Amino acid sequence: MNQEPVMSENRYDVIVVGARCAGSPTAMLLARAGYRVLVVDRAIFPSDTVSTHLVHPPGVAALQRWGLLDRLTATGCPPIHTYAFDLGPFTISGSPGTTDAPVAYSPRRTVLDKILVDAATEAGAEVREGFNVSEVVFADGRVTGVRGDSRDGRAITEHARVVVGADGLRSLVARAVHPEQYLDKPRLQCSYYTYYSRLPMEGCYEVHLRPDRGFAAWPTNDELTLVIGGWPFAEFEANKRDFEGNYLKTFDLVPPFAERIRAARREARFIGSAVPNYLRKPFGSGWALVGDAGYNKDFITAQGISDAFRDAELCATALDEAFAGVCSFAVAMARYHSMRDQHVLSMYEFTTQLATLKPPPPELAQLLAAVHGNRAAMDAFVRVNAGVTSPTEFFADENVERIYVAAKKAG
Ligand SMILES: Cc1cc2nc3c(=O)[nH]c(=O)nc-3n(C[C@H](O)[C@H](O)[C@H](O)COP(=O)(O)OP(=O)(O)OC[C@H]3O[C@@H](n4cnc5c(N)ncnc54)[C@H](O)[C@@H]3O)c2cc1C
């Protein structure tokens, strides 16, 4: 085995580290725009990862724009047309989508990520699987490439005008470039998930929230149902020895669901996770960050995949503008940064509040009671959770007023 670093003659416009929801679409879009793109991942696809995989309608709309939705539906993944939030005293249910993108899907990550990797390859990006990046290469304070080990054990260095870190929560690229990090919040809840057969969901994403507990179930490929349940992170240590017993106990809080799951059969092992919450400045000299590498929030609202898709589009557009000389790299990337934050900040607050698993404060509880039973308001509320409507819009004074007026009229 040759341990000497091979200095590649290649020079790419962009090297993308990480080939899942953020990386492959970024690579695909840049390759479609005619750039020389290398995307590397230590995984070999199809590959699973620690993540459930609800893709809300905005994420589905991105797949449609990219011409990839048919591939997803061809896998038999069932559409999800209803979201139902059981808040204890009542359930708010409605349609999560819009006319253009009416439904959600929840493809297994083995399915979704493979579709994305293949699409990057077809677009002309060079995809190197089984390639582990060990180091980010700098010259005069600027990122110029990456060094890593290929599948056959060779150490290779590759250079590009820009290195994009799409390498997830534990991003090596982010660690190397030390981006400004802001609005950090600690891990708020921890959850465990697995898959069941014989638990039909009839196209519904079902969420049950109780003080200090929450669980959700929804359909995925192969006639399986994903069931995730969790508690505040403060209880992680106390509950970890018997996480399975504690997971099963949460269902007893909702007896009709407990009965359904007792009739179902578990088909996979449990996977558990808890994640930190942060935003990072997503660009600097010779580098950019997309997806979880640049911004992460608790998975309770299942926004990460759709957010990663949006980052990919915004970042690829910004890089295209910078390369084409429409504006400077700094100006184009600052626009990407501000558009990302404009989109995610109110959802970040909403999600991190929800992830405490505390009962809603009295004012919110009162508003939700007024929403309940009002068809338009219930659709609007589930669309907040689907990332279709921003929390700022939903909780705006005029909208809240409208909801109370309608509730008063309904008596
Ligand atoms: C328990 C849990 C449940 C979730 N549920 C949902 C959900 O239902 N819906 C939703 O939208 N989001 C969900 N999320 C969030 C979602 O998983 C992420 O937001 C999404 O995967 C981000 O995609 P990404 O491409 O940025 O990163 P990742 O999917 O983490 O991909 C990063 C890739 O980079 C590669 N990589 C990392 N380091 C290196 C290296 N040094 N060299 C080479 N390759 C490297 C990894 O192998 C990996 O393939 C969940 C997350 C968790 C933890």
Residue ranges around ligand 1 (CB below 6 Å)? 17-23, 40-43, 49-54, 132-133, 166-168, 172, 273, 275, 291-293, 299, 302-306, 308
Judge contact between 212 and 232, C-beta under 8 A: yes
Across the range 362-389, mean pLDDT stands at: 97
Judge contact between 37 and 12, C-beta under 8 A: yes
pLDDT tens digits along 185-224: 999 999 999 999 999 999 999 999 999 999 999 999 999 9
CA atoms within 13 A on the CB side of 355: 26
Identity at 386, one-letter amino acid code: A
- Average pLDDT over the chain reads 96
pLDDT over 90 for what percent of the chain?
97
pLDDT at position 2 is 40
Which residues are bridge partners to 381 per DSSP? none
**Closest ligand 1 atom number to CA of residue 49:** 29
pLDDT band at 10 (very low <50, low <70, confident <90, very high): low
Residue 244 Cα to ligand 1 midpoint, Å, equals: 24
Enter the tokens of residue 196. 């069941």
| pLDDT value at 164 more than 80 | yes
Residue 49 Cα to ligand 1 midpoint, Å, equals: 7
pLDDT tens digits along 318-340: 999 999 999 999 999 999 999 99
**Closest ligand 1 atom number to CA of residue 41:** 44
Residue 82 Cα to ligand 1 midpoint, Å, equals: 25
Enter the tokens of residue 314. 């915004």
Q: How far is CA 411 from CA 147, 373, 378, in A?
A: 67, 11, 17
Closest CA to 15 of 6, 2, 26: 26
